[in-house]
Structure 1
Amino acid sequence: MDLLSIGEMVIDFLPGPEPGSYLRNAGGAPANVAIAATRSGLTAAFLGKLGNDDFGRFLAATLEENGVEVVLKEPTDEAVTTMTFVTLGADGERSFTFVRKPGADMLLAPADIRPEVVGASTIVHIGSCSLSGSPCAEATLAALRLARAQGKLVSFDVNYRAPLWARQSDAAARIAEALPFVDLLKVSEEEVHLVGGTAGLAGCLKAHGIAVAVETLGARGARCHFAGETIHVPAPPAVAIDATGAGDAFWGALLSHLITAGVRRVGDLSLGALRDAATYGAAAGSLCVRRKGAIPALPTRAEILTLLNKEVA
């Protein structure tokens, strides 16, 4: 497979077509990135355990309907799937309320991270939400260590959300523990303080040997840091400032473009390849925003290329 995405499972409840109705959508950075990459032309797998309830079964079905293989399908004895309630305002702003069933952070264990599964992938992507509990945090770190030992490209999403980690004072420390194993770092403009702030980001890259850091800037695109250079890639204009899934659409498309371009190791990276991948990702994020986010809005490769051609024209 091209991409292995590891982490917790989240379900988004988005406003439906009628007042009071909601659409259930598989979510969470690892799941969304896997689906976004698949729709951009990659073979992707998602490593995670599912709650043995309607929500868990819905998530498994949603992933598989979108072409994403779920590597671990063994249900747990309890209904432990993490849920998220999402509200989107008229201007596209989002708000989150996290509801965590008992044991939601216990879905993955170090023993679940099998060497042959990691070895079958080109890029391993991990979201930092899977550092929010133990033994799931230990499983995440085990996956990072294994991917580094096998020479894989490791993508890491600093996916900090205050409601989720409000009671965990060591969130930044947990992220710092993972950074030495990371090659490609994704962090939003609001979350950059967790890796030392804008001023400390360059030092963070140097200290941990991270090849690329990308700051997603919402409607303003992204800022990419590589080999001592910083470039800004604007996003095609969108009709809303933000939407659930847009950042993951950006990152899934960026990873897809890198793999399609033949990037297999850090040494394959170049500023030009990164600029092209970020431009491709920014178009994917913009498309997702225009459609108000969520799984049905994650664009295909053909749609991204069509938008880019129109923008160039």
Structure 2
Amino acid sequence: MVDVLSFGELLIDFVPTTSGVSLTEAKAFKKAPGGAPANVAVGLARLGVNAGFMGMVGDDAFGHFLVDVLKSNGVSTQGVRFSGVARTALAFISLQKNGERDFMFYRHPSADMLYSPQDVDVAAIRSAKIFHFGSITLIGEPSRSATLFALETAREAGCLISYDPNLRLNLWPGEKEAREGMLSVWDQAHIIKISDEELEFLSGEKDIEKGARSLWRDTLKLLVVTRGSKGVTCFNAHTQLQVPGYAVKAVDTTGAGDGFVAGLLAGMLAHPEAVQDEAVLRSICQRANAVGALTTTRRGAIPALPTLKKVVQFQRSN
């Protein structure tokens, strides 16, 4: 029984030990557990939320390492499956001097791509209050069918549904397929977190308000556009809210958006009325911004996600 269940990919990020170099120039890499939905699950657990993860890894050393990481962070792994025919996904990440990244993935196929509807733990979904998922498992079969089945189960169970249309263009066949695939489940989500770059990609609009309103659906309760250190802009059916971010020295931005999502969902779990209460929503987004900012100050995604104690201390000092 978990309050928030996160569905999707769990993988190994290999991050260069020095910033500002390309993958060809990097001399050494640090192994770090990652995968956007898994990052969210760990982020939630470190904030004191009862969280679980659902997905597939290889029945190999990396796969068992990743599951052990989830367990050690208090994340339920009831919905995790091990593949005997594909290995755990790997991602090599090049860090620029400003902490931004380039990705090179090894998944031909990887275990997360083979997660099927038969692997979905229906009981685990039905026990959750919030179901969170991303767009990577929508790229191909059978993981796309598994995602749609899990999503349908969550909707029928009355879960609040959170979606992160995480853009990794080099994993899709092309821009058209990526845009159509990421938007294919748009109408089924209640909360969507999207970066300003992803917003422009999906809407064709550089202006955040125009882009957000063009993507608004009546099924949505909240659309949050993250803008890096500038903070976030939140939209509901009638209004928008600007919440400034925190200035930190970014070492690695991997997982910052996932940290923000963890902070956002933790707040929404505690305060379901926040969508219609500007003061509460502002407070939730301020904390989520703090989680995201702190995540950029260390290398790797899961290793960098802060505890609730660190977030509270950071907010008090800022």
TM-score, reference length from structure 2: 0.89
Kindly state the Cα deviation for residue 83 of structure 1 after the two structures are TM-superposed: 1.1
Is 1:3–2:13 an aligned residue pair? no
List 4+ stretches of structure 1 deviating above 6 A: none
What is the match of residue 201 of structure 1?
A: 212
Displacement after TM superposition at 1:44 (Å)? 0.7
Distance 2:246 2:79 in 1: 37
Q: What's 1:98 paired with?
A: 105
How does 1:1-313 map onto structure 2 within 5 Å? 1-16=2-17, 20-104=27-111, 106-167=113-174, 169-196=176-203, 197=205, 198=208, 199-206=210-217, 208-240=218-250, 243-261=253-271, 263=272, 269-311=276-318
User: Alpha-carbon deviation of 1:166?
Assistant: 4.5
Closer/same/farther in 2, CA of residues 157 and 194 from structure 1, 3 Å limit: same
How many angstroms apart in 2 are the aligned matches of 1:59 and 1:259? 26
How far apart in 2 are the matches of 1:2 and 1:131? 24
Deviation of 1:142 (Å)? 1.3
The 1-side partners of 2:57 and 2:112 are apart by 11
* Deviation string, structure 1 residues 68-101 (Cα, Å, up to 9, x no partner): 1212344211233221001223321211111113
Cα deviation, residue 293, structure 1 = 4.5
Gaps of 5+ in 1: none
Q: Deviations over 1:267-290 (max 9, x none)?
A: 975333322211111011111112
Q: Is the 8 A contact 1:56 1:79 kept in 2?
A: no
Query: Partners in 2 of 1:203 and 1:295 — Cα distance?
Result: 33
**Which has the larger displacement, 132-141 or 64-73?**
64-73
RMSD of aligned alpha carbons: 2.2
Count of matched residue positions in the alignment of Structure 1 and Structure 2: 307
Aligned 8 A contact 1:38 1:66 in 2: yes
Q: CA deviation at 1:32?
A: 0.4
String of CA shifts for 1:216-257, please: whole Å, max 9, x gaps: 111111111113211111111111286111111111111112
